[in-house]
A and B are shown apart, each in its own frame.
Chain A
């Protein structure tokens, strides 16, 4: 009996280790398109990029997935070696970042505002490794670049679209003039979207009521769905989910109740083609790809790197045909005014 127990505990320990490792599937297949010279190719192949996702994970249909698409593109077009680890919880951040840095990865990418403290700590211990953090504002490290997205700008544009749609009439719209936005955690990269959305709606339709709720997490689509159903019961006929995977539930609720949803980060129209009328885009893939390229070309710049409407770092996805061309033109007009600075969008949520 005792021997069995020893064996069992060993098996358990093994299973535990396996499950911890299962997040980091190695992605080092042969490249399909090789860069021109073989010398360059082998140099690029030795160039290693590690991506640490936030707890939302790589299939979040939004920013973690986009970050991953950016490094995949770098793998295919630049021939660099890429790898990723999915963080299971916030306490994993330091361990995961350290793991890549210790293995002498040239560039380590941290996806998410919540990883700020972890990146500050690890980047200090590994001054020779370059770090990119998405959605943060670390400026005092020579080896850290922070990609900051002006998502209040694209939030504003989809807000304008929602506000104008409220004046339209069709089977999916009621006459209560209420729209809703569902955030994940109450943190700046989420709130900037919400703030922009509120201002955009008010700019074109001051009487529209904008409901704001938070699920408190990014990985619970069931509560995202109930949250959206709650807003729908309060009159909302357009819901905007800014909640990672929890946002999947928002889109599901909109589809079930036959109203409109607005996608976030990536173009999420494919999840419900008649429901997702547009998506607010945050081009994290551009940020990761460009940074990989800059490090490869010895052009790495530390500090803040801004992505906004002007440099096409944020935007909105092509609306479905339910959105009249006149509204799309209006949205583009607002986009122009934001680009040339006529309209300044605040990133602070209105109470």
Chain B
């Protein structure tokens, strides 16, 4: 066991597997804090993952790939917001529709644009960052340095989001809209606009998570490659009590369970039990091991402005 815990790969895999959970969880936090239940993160991630590869391939630049993925992800999110906020459609069904659509849509585009041999092997990848000084520290350096640039971006975004949500006026307004939209409107806040903002931000963060999967960790897209991370992210968000730091912590925990299950595969334990680890943890998280978590009061309730 000691040998496993001292293997730096365990910890860098934890970070690598936590990143595509933390980003959509952060996105979900914004959306739900503004009062819109967003389970479409899975679909947005998948669509963004595809467009990241497409734009990276077309432009020859992984950065433009990331940018393209963000733009497309936010477009999908805004369409979601239009249906959920303006047209007050059922948010869960809408999210599900986007997820199913994303799966078929990306598979169709993959075949139509790239043919059956998949995405080109010369697609550029986002760089890994080596941090000077830190990279020379034994053990710690191997974990904290040399990760994908998205991993560091994710950490910055977590801190920035926490500041934005809890220490700025706009953040306070977003939270007000998710708790009590009537009162917020009485105070002169535009509920609809802020809900659009919350959902758009969830699209932004989910898109970065999707791009991380396709051009951060790899340089290819394959069908359904998000493989349920958008849903696990929902669990991380709830476990993290709808806060950026909480979501990040939960994502790290799930990432750690996944990384640990990879390390334990060659131990004496049954492989099937080991592979269950991350999922058992998800269930435990959801039944409230981490204490009671209360969702924003108006979460999932469509709001029609009083005229």
Chain A residues within 8 Å of B, Cβ to Cβ = 1, 4-5, 8-9, 12, 15-16, 18-23, 25, 55-61, 65, 68-69, 86, 88, 186, 211-214, 216-217, 219-223, 225-227, 229-230, 232-234, 245, 248-249, 252, 270-272
Contact = CB atoms under 8 A, between A and B. Distances in A.
B104 A20 contact: yes
B88 A1 contact: yes
Contacts of B258: 223, 226
Interface stretch (B30-38, B188-196, B199-207, B215-223): B215-223
17 contacts: A15-B101, A16-B101, A22-B104, A22-B105, A56-B223, A59-B118, A59-B223, A88-B104, A88-B224, A214-B265, A219-B222, A223-B258, A226-B17, A229-B12, A245-B222, A245-B223, A252-B219
Given A186-B271, A230-B13, A233-B9, 4 more contacts: A21-B104, A86-B107, A220-B227, A225-B217
A216 B101 contact: no
Nearest to B9: A233
B263 A230 contact: yes
B301 to A, nearest CB: 16
B168 interface: no
A60 B117 CA distance: 8
Contact of A229 (B9, B112, B114): B9
Contacts of A271: 121
B107 A213 contact: no
Given A216-B275, A226-B13, A248-B220, A59 B88 contact: no
A58 B116 CA distance: 6
Nearest to B271: A214
B83 interface: yes
Interface in B220-235: 220, 222-225, 227
Nearest to B112: A25
Nearest to B259: A226
Contacts of A186: 271-272
Contact of B103 (A9, A19, A212, A217): A19
Contacts of B20: 222
A20 B99 CA distance: 12
B127 interface: no
Nearest to A219: B224
A59 B265 contact: no
Contacts of B101: 15-16, 18-19
A105 to B, nearest CB: 20
A234 to B, nearest CB: 7
Nearest to B12: A229
A212 B266 contact: yes
A230 B227 contact: no
A198 B20 CA distance: 34
Interface string B97-139: 1001111110110111010111001000000000000000000
A211 B262 CA distance: 11
A15 to B, nearest CB: 5
A272 B122 CA distance: 10
Given A5-B87, A219-B222, A222-B213, A16 B121 contact: no
B75 interface: no
A60 B222 contact: yes
B9 A272 contact: no
B181 to A, nearest CB: 17
A226 B104 contact: no
Interface string B1-26: 00000011110110011001000000
Question: Which of A22, A211, A222, A248 gathers the greatest number of chain B CB atoms within 10 Å?
Answer: A222
B89 interface: yes
A59 B110 contact: yes
B218 A252 contact: yes
B114 A59 contact: yes
B117 A59 contact: yes
Contacts of A19: 100-105
B172 interface: no
Contacts of B227: 217, 219-220, 222-223
Contacts of B259: 226, 230
Interface in B53-96: 83, 87-89, 93-94
B272 to A, nearest CB: 7
Nearest to B213: A222
Most A CB atoms within 10 A — which of B12, B20, B118? Answer: B118
Contact of B116 (A59, A245, A272): A59
Contacts of A272: 121
Interface in B235-285: 258-259, 262-263, 265-266, 271-272, 275
Given A219-B222, A221-B225, A230 B121 contact: no
Contacts of A223: 17, 227, 258, 262
B108 A22 contact: yes
Given A25-B108, A245-B223, A222 B100 contact: no
A65 B9 CA distance: 33
B116 A211 contact: no
B271 A5 contact: no
Interchain residue pairs A-B with the least CB separation, the first 5:
A19-B104, A233-B9, A22-B108, A213-B265, A22-B104
Contacts of B213: 222
Contacts of B116: 58-59, 65, 68-69
